[in-house]
Structure 1
Amino acid sequence: MIRFENVSVTYDGADEPAVRAVDFEVPEGELALLVGPSGVGKSTVLGAVSGLVPHFTGGTLHGRVTVAGRDTRTHKPRELADVVGTVGQDPLSHFVTDTVEDELAYGMESLGLAPDVMRRRVEETLDLLGLADLRDRPVSALSGGQRQRVAIGSVLTPHPRVLVLDEPTSALDPAAAEEVLAVLQRLVHDLGTTVLMAEHRLERVVQYADRVVLLPGPGERPLLGAPAEVMAVSPVFPPVVDLGRLAGWSPLPLTVRDARRRAAPLRERLADLEPRREAAPAPAPPPAGRRLFGRAKPDAPSPAHVAEVRSLAVRRDRVQALRHVDLTVAPGEAVALMGRNGAGKSTLLGALVGLVAPSSGSVRTGDAVPHRTRPRDLVRRVGLVPQEPRDLLYADTVAAECAAADQDAGAEPGTCRALLSELLPGVSDDTHPRDLSEGQRLTLALAVVLTARPPLILLDEPTRGLDYAAKARLVTLLRALAAEGHAIVLATHDVELAAELAHRVVLLAEGEVIADGPAAEVVVASPSFAPQVAKVLAPQHWLTVAQVREALS
């Protein structure tokens, strides 16, 4: 159904191909998973299937890509639209109508389907993806995860023979991700749909793949094989595979169930050991003279809290987004906000940074009331890396973006660029931010925010588009920031990130706080938000492979 024959793609102005010597085939009715480190060209490979590469993106494609027998060199995207449905990393860029129901119908209208067929398929898709309650909602008022489900639904309604998905679960909570993956399984098994999917959160998807295509890195040929075989040599792998490698299990487990069946001897070895946990910091300012990445320490936060939320309620349009929320954050504390899509996590971050005004209650960050404070004054108290990093990036080059960040923060020229070079080596000054990968854009946005050294740093879904190595670098960075007195609050669906980083987890549901406590206690008690290692080694309270590795050594 999908065939790549020695395909290389070189973009205009680039010295090296984005992908080289890609050669593989995906038969009809199979789910193929495309994996590899950030920036190796996965999105380019996906774009070549729909014809967006090179007809829309520009550049030169060598070799041949065929989909259902159609050569993408001679068939433009509109001539493949009846065969291929595509969902990219940014759902907003796909939307062309105002409401959920209209968006689901739009693709079928373009193909000229009969009204009765359209109505039936819209209803089926609303039920499949749990969107029935949102049918009349404006797409602009949806949470990031809800938008992701609508974007997937909009390409399902025309019943394409091939689905191309770029990070389809990245913005979804664990339960919603399972629902979407169950739908994809049904399409593959029952309808013979062919799916090619790139996804960094392999712990969610690798067990569903019929085959895995690994793009190892620049200049290396792709590797195609069964999931367990490829995971044995892949530079990116989920925690359950990492645990299997550590324990010497063969073949490697791909699911929690497989790992639990083999884990009894490992649990016995760990029975008398205790996992080392990061202690929550005492509410005191950082010691004088500490330095962050070679720069001065952040502005001293208040001795008690850098953020304080009391009885906060927020109403947005007709939706009560938050109700009676109480939250305090101490200097040096890392707090994970978790909960299903639409629970109010992003709204709470927006209130902390002044983008959202309270309907009632109060919000303070340091000595400021965010929504009443000028942005130029607030930037030194709190910084937000939004769910879409491009919302923070407006210049034409990386160099211009960094220069603007220095100016806005009143920092020495070169401060932002020096930090970016430490976080993301190898990105040239003249690169346009839109040409960066999702993970690279996130890192640039984080460098922009950190330039002002705010005591409170907010991140909204910070691991979208990040592979495991990039996520590990992010965790190391955030731990260093917390150790020097910065408070970190992140809204995330990434249970593995919360297990690695958070001192506390705050669970939200329907705009209310339903749990607030130490990360180990909150996530282990929740089947939905427990990390893979916790599920494999339960009832023992291990959260990460790093804890297990340290204990065994």
Structure 2
Amino acid sequence: MIEFDRVTVTYAGAATPTIRDVTLSIGEGELCLVAGHTGTGKSTLLRAVNGLVPHFTGGTLAGRVTVAGRDTRTHPPRELADVVGYVGQDPLHGFVTDTVEEELAYALEQLAVPAPAMRKRVEETLDLLGIADLRHRPLRTLSGGQQQRVAIGAVLTAHPRVVVLDEPTSALDPTAAEDVLAAVTRLVHDLGITILIAEHRLERVAHYADRLLHLPGDGTVIDGPPARILATAAVAPPIVELGRLAGWHPLPLSVRDARRAAAPLRARLEDHEPPCRGFGVGTVELLAHDVVVRYGRHTAVAGVDLQLRTGEVVALMGRNGSGKSSLLWALQGSGPRQRGTVTTGGTDPAKLSPTDARRRVGLVPQTPADLLYLDTVDAECAAADADGVPGACRALLDDLAPGIPGDLHPRDLSEGQRLALVLAIQLTAAPPVVLLDEPTRGLDYTAKRHFTRIVRGLARNGTAVVVATHDVELVAALADRVVVMAQGEIVADGPTADIIAASPAFAPQVAKILHPQPWLTVADVAEALR
């Protein structure tokens, strides 16, 4: 179905190729997982399948890529659209219509599918992805996770023979991610569709994959069974790291298989207790009471009360569309708030100027690029320093993500680099409260560990931090406290272990494997065994 024949891709100005001398053969009905650190060429590999590389991205492609017999050198993306469906990392940038139903039908209209067949396919896709209740919603009003499901659906309606997904679950809550991956697996098993998925959250996908394509960072691709490749790969999900620690062989990739092997490990841990994290420590830094946010007739936040304390990291969790982002914007003061009060430092940030509000509450949104408006990284840093110490923002950026050239345009940065730049800009104002909305989208395991150290450092210095996230592994490693929202209300609030350890939806892999013992991370287990 897909053939790579000695493929090398080199971008203009690059000293070395992004991918080098790659030869692969991917058959019909295979689910291939593409893994590797950020910046190793995963997106380049995926975009070569539908001709975006080099027809759209530029650069030089040597060798040959064929899909269903069509050579991507002579067939641009529009001539592969009936064979290859592609969903990028940012679904909002790919939308071309106004509503969910129109977006699902758009590709069918371009392919001249008859109206009765078009209606049938749209209905099937709405049901497949569980988004039938969104059919008439404007795309701009959807949460990030809902937009991601719509983007996947818009590709599936065309019934392509190959589907390419770049970080398809990054904005999805755990249950929605399982539903989408179950639907993707069904396409592979029942219809013989070939699927390529690039994903940083390997714990969600590895046990579904038939093959793993690992990009170690030198331009090459290592191809093989997931368990064999992950046994030595630099990127590995918690289940594999726990298996390495416990000496399990072969390494399990599913929680079910790991639990079968875990009895001796649970016995070794019986006399140990996981480390305690702070909860409710520090003074109240921000107090919110009866906060209500509405968009037209839709109530996004329904009378929320919340306290944030100094030195505490709070994880804000909940399914897509539960009101997390709306609550963060209301707390920061920039977003709408129809009712309720927010007080920090004796004042309501909504009543302050944008500059003063930023000094009280810093917010990094789901799409950090929304806060970037200048032509270079250096210009963004200089603007952030305008009312403070010159060079402070650049120093913060070098700590978060060293080596970013100052003359680069912010739009040319990777997802992780953009996040680092916006975080540096917000932290330059030294706000006592920092709100982070899905901050680990596009970050690999190594980058997330670095991010965790940075956030814990902020907390040690007295900052109150809120991280809205669907990444349960991040929450297990980072948060002191977890707040869960549903339908605009807070339905749970307490210490991390109490909220997530026994939750079917929010429990991390280690908690599922070692249940009923309350362990959350591989690092905690390793420390106990030492």
TM-score category of the 2 structures, normalised to the smaller one: over 0.9
2:113 — aligned with what? 113
Amino acid at match of 1:318: R
What per-residue deviation string (whole Å, max 9, x for no partner) do you get for residues 86-136 of structure 1? 000001011111100000000100110000000000000111111111101
Identity %, equivalent residues: 64
2:17–2:219: 8 Å Cα contact kept in structure 1?
Answer: no
Letter in 2 for 1:488: V
User: How many Å separate the matches in 1 of 2:127 and 2:291?
Assistant: 33
Shift of residue 386 of structure 1? 0.8
**Deviation at 1:199?**
0.3
Instruction: Give the match for residue 348 of structure 2.
Output: 369
Contact 1:336–1:490 (8 Å) recurs in 2: yes
CA separation of 1:457 and 1:308: change in aligned 2, threshold 3 A: same
Q: Distance in 2 between matches of 1:418 and 1:200?
A: 28
Q: Is the CA contact 1:393–1:445 (under 8 Å) kept in the aligned structure 2?
A: yes
Q: Which residue of 2 aligns with 1:258?
A: 257
Amino acid at match of 1:423: L
Other-structure match for 2:155: 155
Question: What residue number does 2:325 align with?
Answer: 346
Query: How many angstroms does 1:396 deviate by?
Result: 2.0
- Note the alpha carbon deviations across 1:122-173, whole angstroms, 9 max, x for none: 0001111111111010000000000000000000000000001000000000
User: Residues 61-103 of structure 1: CA distance to partner in whole angstroms, max 9, x if unpaired?
Assistant: 1121111111111110101111110000001011111100000
Query: Aligned-residue CA RMSD in angstroms?
Result: 1.1
Q: Are the aligned partners of 1:281 and 1:332 in contact in 2 as well (CA < 8 Å)?
A: no
Alpha-carbon contact 1:357-1:371 (below 8 Å) kept: no
- Counterpart CA distance in 1 for 2:21 and 2:432 is 47
In structure 1, give the amino acid aligned to 2:373.
Y
Task: Read off the aligned partner of 1:358 and give its amino acid letter.
Answer: R
| Partner Cα distance (2:184, 2:83) in 1 | 16
Equivalent runs, 1:9-408 vs 2, <5 Å: 9-217=9-217, 219-280=218-279, 282-283=281-282, 304-407=283-386
Q: Aligned partners of 1:358 and 1:346: how far apart in 2?
A: 13
What is the Cα deviation at residue 312 of structure 1?
Answer: 1.2
**2:258·2:513 contact (CA, 8 Å) conserved in 1?**
yes
Partner of 1:300: none
Residues 352-361 or 243-252, more deviating: 352-361
CA contact (8 A) 1:352 1:365 kept: no
Gaps of 5+ in 2: none
Residue 364 of structure 1 deviates from its aligned partner by 2.0
Following superposition, which runs of at least 4 residues in structure 1 exceed 3 angstroms of deviation?
none
TM-score by length of 1: 0.94
**Aligned counterpart, 2:498:** 521
Cα distance in 2 for residues equivalent to 1:11 and 1:365: 48
Q: Distance in 2 between matches of 1:74 and 1:365?
A: 60
Q: Please give the alpha-carbon distance, in whole angstroms, between the structure 2 residues aligned to 1:163 and 1:368.
A: 51
Pairs aligned (count): 530
Q: Is the 8 A contact 2:502 2:511 kept in 1?
A: no
1:538 to 515, 518, 530: 515
Shift of 1:452: 1.1
TM-score, normalising length from structure 2?
Answer: 0.98
Amino acid at match of 1:61: L
CA distance, structure 2, for counterparts of residue 368 and residue 138 of structure 1:
35
Q: Is the 8 A contact 1:143 1:341 kept in 2?
A: yes
AA partner of residue 114 (structure 2): A
Using the TM superposition, give the Cα deviation of residue 281 of structure 1 relative to its aligned residue in structure 2, in angstroms: 6.2
Q: State the distance in 2 between where 1:414 and 1:187 align.
A: 52
Where 1:306 maps in the other structure, the secondary structure is: strand
* Structure 1 CA distance for aligned equivalents of residues 383 and 15 of structure 2: 28
User: In structure 2, what is the Cα distance between the partners aligned to 1:49 and 1:5?
Assistant: 12
Work out whether residues 259 and 536 of structure 1, in 8 Å CA contact, stay in contact via their aligned partners in 2: yes
Contact 1:281 1:331 in 2 (8 A): no
Q: 2:229 & 2:467 partners in 1: Cα distance?
A: 32
